[in-house]
Structure 1
Amino acid sequence: MTLINYLYVIALSVMPISELRGAIPVGVGLGMTPLNATILSVIANMSIVPILLIITKPLFTYLRKYKFFGELIERFENRALKKVKNFKKYELLGLYVLVALPIPTTGAYTGIVAAGILNIKFKNALLAIVLGVLTAGIIVFTIVNGFTLLAFSN
């Protein structure tokens, strides 16, 4: 394993869309053990959560002044709002589930936007999102580890 491979996994973990759901399998593909890829990806994905929880709402407010960014933000928030509708009445549990399910267009970024839309307090949102990231990491680890064991068992 080279430093570049670790940095690649970290970069994928903190990027919207791929997050740890993409980083863990890529890490294993690059030669990491499923456990190492998961630990690195979960830590990297969690590291962005507090920062983004603090800056997303003010940043979106500022960027809305510009037509191009305003339209992008509107689309992103509308997409998040569609997902939040299913979880809104459960608030924190719903936010946790939204982040924990390792399916496309869910994850820490969607959870951060959803927390802003629902006006969830920082501490509560942080807890729900971080636990969701941890759970998603465990789920992806289990899937990737299962495939790895199947692939190398024969």
Structure 2
Amino acid sequence: MALDLLTVILLSVLPISELRGAIPYGIIIANLNPVLVFLTAVVSNIIIIPTIFFFLDYVHQHLMGIRLYNSLFGKFIERTQHKAQNHISKYGYLGLVLLVAIPLPITGAYTGTLAAWLFNMKRKKSLLALSFGVVIAGSIVTALVLSGIEASIFLNNRLIN
């Protein structure tokens, strides 16, 4: 169980998987308690937000001199600016919540934090908005996973009987 929880934490803080990978893994693969998985994944994903801000504020400037980093990160910045522009300019912090809350690829805490940083949004308000978005996204993913499990059980029972 401890190793499975560690895996949930690791998946929650990775930029590709975040909650969308951690919650299904914890509930479906590791067969952990859904409430425990939700809380672990959400808290882990929220904890990474200040780390991302720190990276963008201090480490990013030093790495921009490296050609490979600059080309890869430059593309990610362009994509994030394009994706977040409408949400942020129209809705402000609510747009930031929505950007993170919708559990689709290339949305989540990393993209939301980068958007808040790019648009020079206030840190405390951004952290609150991003955290709220993570809680919503975690709730959506958990509900979808549990609904899928229930649907599978229902269909299996119908086929067997």
In the alignment, residue 96 of structure 1 is paired with which amino acid? V
**Structure 1 position 152, deviation (Å):** 2.8
SS of aligned partner of 2:65: coil
Aligned to 1:30: 30
The percent identity for this pair of structures is: 39
1:98-151 per-position Cα deviation (integer Å, ceiling 9, x unaligned)? 011000100000011101110011101101101000010011111111112222
- The answer to whether structure 1 residue 129 and structure 2 residue 130 are counterparts is yes
Moved more, 135-144 or 45-54: 45-54
Can you give the 5+ residue segments of structure 1 that lack an aligned partner in the other structure? Answer: none
- The answer to whether structure 1 residue 100 and structure 2 residue 101 are counterparts is yes
In the alignment, residue 140 of structure 2 is paired with which amino acid? I
**Structure 1 position 33, deviation (Å):** 2.6
In 2: Cα distance, 1:105 partner to 1:7 partner: 23
Aligned to 1:4: 3
In 2: Cα distance, 1:128 partner to 1:44 partner: 16
In 1: Cα distance, 2:51 partner to 2:17 partner: 19
- The answer to whether structure 1 residue 113 and structure 2 residue 114 are counterparts is yes
Q: Is the 8 A contact 1:34 1:144 kept in 2?
A: no
Q: CA RMSD in A?
A: 1.2
Q: Is the 8 A contact 1:60 1:73 kept in 2?
A: no
Q: Is the 8 A contact 1:9 1:26 kept in 2?
A: yes
Structure 1 stretches of 4+ moved >4 Å: none
In 2: Cα distance, 1:57 partner to 1:15 partner: 19
**Structure 1 position 70, deviation (Å):** 1.1
Number of matched pairs: 153
Can you give the 5+ residue segments of structure 2 that lack an aligned partner in the other structure? Answer: none
TM-score, with structure 1 as normaliser: 0.93
Aligned to 2:12: 13
Q: Is the 8 A contact 1:98 1:132 kept in 2?
A: yes
Aligned to 1:55: 55
TM-score, with structure 2 as normaliser: 0.89
